[in-house]
Structure 1
Amino acid sequence: MPEPVLGILTLYMNDAKQLEEKSVYRRMIIEGSRIGLDVFVFTRFL
């Protein structure tokens, strides 16, 4: 069976076009992985 996927859309980027709150997203990825989710963070900005 395929691994469940969770995508997290973030809209908060700083002036250098980097994600803010990286530690929060990192923790979400770690915890999601622990329960068997394939977790990724993305943004709509290029």
Structure 2
Amino acid sequence: MQQEFSCPSDAKRQLDKVAKKLKYIQIIESQMLATQKHATSGWPKAQ
């Protein structure tokens, strides 16, 4: 599952919520990766 969150605590909260719903699957290890996003899409504006 790949989702984007604004902070690590939001991601952890969502992971805990999903883990509670799983009946036969146990989450043993999870990984969070920080990604850099540009403010706008497309080419940078000329200065």
Higher RCO (C-alpha under 8 Å, 6+ residues apart): 1
TM-score (norm 1): 0.41
Structure showing greater radius of gyration is: 2
- Give 1 or 2: higher strand fraction: 1
